Amino acid sequence: MKKLPLILIFAASAFCLIFSSCSSGNIIRPADSLLSPPLYYEEYADLVEAFNQKVNTEVIMCHPQSGDYRSAIVVEDIDSDGESEALVFYKKTDDPTVARMHLLDYIDGRWISRNDFNGYGTAVESLRVDDMDLDGAAELMVTWNTSASKVLSLYRTLPRIGSYKEISNENCFLSELVDIDGDGRKELFLISQSNSTGVANRVAKAMKISGESVVLLGETKLDSNISSYANVKTEKASDEEPMRIYVDALKGEHQMITELVYWDSSKSELCAPFLDPETMTNIVTLRYEPIGCADVNNDGIIDIPVQSKIFGKGDNKLTIDTENIYLTEWTDYISSEFSVVAYALINNSDGYMITLSKNELDQLGIRNYRSQNCWIVYNSDVEGNSKGEMFSVLKIPKEKWNPKTYGAYISIVEKDDGVVCVYITQTGKSFGVSEELIKQKITKIPS
């Protein structure tokens, strides 16, 4: 996507003045009835008039709900001819169930209507503009949204005839634009549902522009027991795996996994190594809280959190006095193997994590006092019995937080609803626990 696109952005209040709202009856109101001239209205009044004349009906403007473009009108030089094109997203008042896209071209000082496309949903989820095949003219990727599904439509510019062509429509749960095979050209990465074998399966697809059509580069099956998808992160890896795509996915309300998808250049195929082919599930990255993958040690490699519930005393594990505290291992997946890069106790509800060394797993214990939003970390013997409290971590509600009242506490994480702070005991200080050490060990949960 161009770094500095020329985008015409109208604020919501400006749209209320210019275009019809859900209750208004006019496409455009006379200029003398405006309370104040909206941004760029005089400069682009002819664009609005050209759209008005071509559509010739009452409309409701609609804008993309996510992504880089959040305006109902986008003005940009899409086909690289030195002149601007305009996209207008709208719905007809007599047919509000279908979102539409209207395209206009600026030629010889006039806005000329080129195309009008019916969308595949009641709303516009997102717009992306990018030259996928490096031919000098950008493609338009519009995701249409309904309450039940998303449809990604791809529109190709036809500069020779000054028009646009719809070349692909794909039902999907999510989509990204990445150079997955490392050839310098971007592909569409999709996760969708396949029923080709009579069984509903989730699949990841990579699709590539070839000429004036879209071809399937590769696909691979994923875990189908997914409630929804959350974050998507990418990283450049190696010649054998040019681009890695990490997708955090919710299983139910709380459990989460990470799917890893990449292009294997040696085999020329799309791979998802975490799927068990026998159970068709991904359990190797399972955690019991919705904690997303992140680069926790800033080495450029995305780390996947994996959790295990820890109980009991001794057995070379951190001892826990209450249930529902988990040891999180931040792991890298390199050369088909997982390696642990950090250990942590994560308080997901309060938004912080305590990073521990491997030795500290054998030496420390923790108690969870839920009613007080407090975790107490203590030194333990080989049997897991407390030898003295080291420090406590608690969250103070925002309305109660006062630095004077809590002067003995160290403020660690400030959130909208409160402050996470730490109190170091004398026992902790005697073991070398300092404010500097605490600020290194206790941080926000990385995103």
Rg, C-alpha atoms of the chain: 27
Three-state secondary structure call for residue 32: helix
> Backbone dihedral region of 121: left (phi > 0), alpha (psi from -120 to 50 degrees) or beta?
beta
By the 10 Å C-beta count (0-12 exposed, 13-18 middle, 19+ buried), 42 is classed as exposed
Residue 194 in this model has a pLDDT that exceeds 50:
yes
Contact 263/206 with Cβ under 8 angstroms?
yes
On average, the pLDDT of the chain sits at: 84
Res. 384 pLDDT band, cuts 50 70 90: low
Tens of pLDDT, residues 298-341: 999 999 999 986 633 334 344 444 556 788 999 999 989 999 99
This prediction's pTM? 0.83
What pLDDT is recorded for position 207? 96
Least confident range from 169-183, 360-374, 387-401, 423-437: namely 360-374
Report the pLDDT averaged over residues 107-112: 89
Residue 25 in this model has a pLDDT that exceeds 60:
no
Return the structure tokens found at 25: 């009856």
What pLDDT is recorded for position 390? 94
What percentage of the chain carries pLDDT values higher than 70? 85
Q: Rounded to the nearest 10 degrees, how much is the dihedral formed by the CA atoms of 1, 292, 259, 174? A: -40
Task: Map tokens 């400030």 to a residue.
Answer: 414
By the 10 Å C-beta count (0-12 exposed, 13-18 middle, 19+ buried), 312 is classed as exposed
429 or 211, higher pLDDT: 429
What pLDDT is recorded for position 312? 34
Other C-beta atoms closer than 10 Å to the C-beta of 384 total 18
CA–CA distances in Å: residue 206 to residues 84, 203, 310: 31, 10, 40
Amino acid sitting at position 250: L
Three-state secondary structure call for residue 371: helix
What pLDDT is recorded for position 162? 66
Least confident range from 52-61, 331-340, 367-376, 405-414: namely 367-376
Tens of pLDDT, residues 332-368: 999 899 999 999 999 998 999 999 998 888 888 888 8
Residue 18 CB contacts under 8 Å (≥ 6 apart), including other chains: 10, 28, 29, 34, 38, 41, 48
CA–CA distances in Å: residue 95 to residues 65, 88, 185, 410: 20, 17, 38, 58
Tens of pLDDT, residues 148-162: 789 999 999 876 666
383 or 66, higher pLDDT: 66
Contact 232/245 with Cβ under 8 angstroms?
yes
Task: Map tokens 């539409």 to a residue.
Answer: 100
Residue 39 in this model has a pLDDT that exceeds 50:
no
Three-state secondary structure call for residue 428: helix
Tens of pLDDT, residues 56-95: 888 988 999 999 998 889 998 888 888 889 999 999 999 9
Return the structure tokens found at 303: 């780390």
Report the pLDDT averaged over residues 100-118: 92
